[in-house]
């Protein structure tokens, strides 16, 4: 058994696997942002968008391009998670089958989970009776199904968890992963979020007229590879950024920046870093903060080594008060 490491251990991001309407894979995703690629348009996959004329859909995504084994059935949310994991492994220069599965962790965040599979299963039961419920689809309908499927697919036996906290779900997953790496519970931890557009999700949202004027619902996934700085340096990995801190707090009228204040205290910062503004590729719910971190990594080149930026989010779409998150990343050269 390995002893716990010091909390002073530095944790870095050595790989990123984003899937979004503007690009798939870190280089294509960042190129799409730099070029101002249009990531918003009419939905092609769903027949009913509940009045949303435009969405941010992953139009060019096909899970078969990323998996070695053929799947009988996958919910769209699980597809995004599995492919994002594959992209993160590749971007980090790691081959999962050559690693010790006991030393790999997986932390995924999702606001709504596998709604397509859930509504598929429940519709069968409600219209035809219990005998026609599909046991296979049922196992794909849980919020933790993407985590379980990815753990099976990539032989992950280390710390694992699913976090459902609205639009800060990925931040909660990253905070847990950050602590697991620091504590020495795993050598590598995949952390991020996934969210899929579905008829159920769009129907359950407040109507377009009740949300912010520029709100566009989106889907996507992003998995980040976390490891210790010394581990990454020893294997010659490209270090994309250091995770300085993850702050989770309840924002109130008196303390609207409670999460950022918490993150600054953890990182030992006396001055608040600049806040990275999320690009316009739609609101991706549980995946939003992981994609935001990946986008911020692309902007770190304009900062000096050691400089920090913050990615912020709140759990609720409609209330600025309540659970919030702030993740501070630092450029390392």
Report pLDDT digits (tens) over 221-237: 999 999 999 999 999 99
Which residue range(s) make up the domain with 71? 11-234
Q: Which residue among 234, 260, 289 closes a domain?
A: 234
Say yes or no: 207 and 223 in one domain. Answer: yes
Question: Which band of pLDDT confidence, cut at 50, 70 and 90, is reported for residue 131?
Answer: low
Say yes or no: 190 and 271 in one domain. Answer: no
Residues 6+ apart with CB under 8 A from 6: 182
Would you say residue 62 lies in a domain?
Answer: yes
Question: Which band of pLDDT confidence, cut at 50, 70 and 90, is reported for residue 281?
Answer: confident
Paired tokens of 265: 């205290």
Paired tokens of 239: 């270090």
> Token pair 């992963």 is at which residue?
177
Paired tokens of 133: 């419920």
Say yes or no: 227 and 146 in one domain. Answer: yes
> Token pair 């294509």 is at which residue?
28
pTM equals 0.93
Say yes or no: 182 and 87 in one domain. Answer: yes
* Number of domains observed in the structure of the chain: 2
Would you say residue 1 lies in a domain?
Answer: no
Can you give the CATH number for the domain in which 210 is found?
3.40.47.10
Say yes or no: 114 and 181 in one domain. Answer: yes
Radius of gyration from C-alpha coordinates of the chain: 19
CA distances from 177 to 20, 29, 109, 159, 162 (A): 22, 23, 11, 8, 11
Q: Which residue among 176, 205, 234 closes a domain?
A: 234
Say yes or no: 272 and 228 in one domain. Answer: no
Q: Which helix (H) or strand (E) holds 189?
A: strand 188-195
CA distances from 304 to 62, 208, 270, 309 (A): 38, 41, 18, 11
Q: CB atoms < 10 A from the CB of 154, how many?
A: 19
Percentage of the chain modeled with pLDDT above 90: 76
Say yes or no: 268 and 230 in one domain. Answer: no
Quote the pLDDT of residue 143: 93
């Amino acid at each position: 058994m390995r002893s716990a490491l010091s909390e002073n251990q530095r944790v870095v991001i050595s790989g990123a696997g984003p899937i979004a309407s503007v690009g798939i894979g870190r280089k294509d995703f960042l190129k799409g942002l730099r070029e101002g690629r249009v990531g918003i348009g009419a939905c092609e996959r769903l027949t009913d968008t509940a009045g949303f004329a435009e969405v941010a859909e992953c139009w060019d995504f096909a899970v078969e391009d990323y998996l070695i084994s053929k799947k009988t059935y996958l919910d769209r949310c699980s597809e995004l998670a599995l492919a994002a994991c594959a992209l993160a492994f590749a971007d980090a220069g790691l081959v999962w089958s050559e690693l010790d599965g006991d030393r790999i962790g997986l932390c995924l965040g999702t606001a709504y989970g596998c709604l397509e599979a859930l509504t598929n299963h429940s519709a069968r039961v409600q219209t035809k009776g219990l005998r026609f419920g599909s046991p296979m689809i049922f196992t794909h309908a849980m919020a933790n199904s993407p985590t379980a499927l990815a753990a099976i697919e990539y032989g992950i036996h280390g710390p694992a968890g699913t976090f459902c906290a609205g639009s800060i779900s990925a931040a909660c997953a990253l905070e847990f992963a950050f602590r697991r790496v620091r504590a020495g519970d795993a050598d590598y931890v995949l952390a991020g979020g996934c969210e899929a557009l579905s008829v159920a999700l769009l129907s359950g949202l407040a109507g377009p007229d009740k949300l912010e004027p520029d709100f566009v619902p989106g889907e996507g996934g992003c998995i980040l590879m976390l490891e210790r700085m010394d581990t990454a340096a020893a294997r010659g990995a490209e270090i994309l950024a250091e995770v300085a801190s993850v702050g989770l707090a309840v924002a109130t009228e008196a303390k609207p920046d409670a999460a950022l204040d918490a993150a600054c205290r953890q990182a030992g910062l006396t001055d608040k870093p600049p806040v990275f503004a999320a690009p316009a590729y739609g609101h991706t719910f549980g995946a939003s903060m992981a994609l935001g971190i990946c986008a911020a990594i692309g902007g770190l080149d304009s900062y000096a080594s050691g400089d920090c930026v913050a990615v912020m989010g709140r759990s609720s779409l409609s209330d600025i008060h309540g659970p919030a998150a702030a993740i501070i990343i630092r450029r390392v050269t």
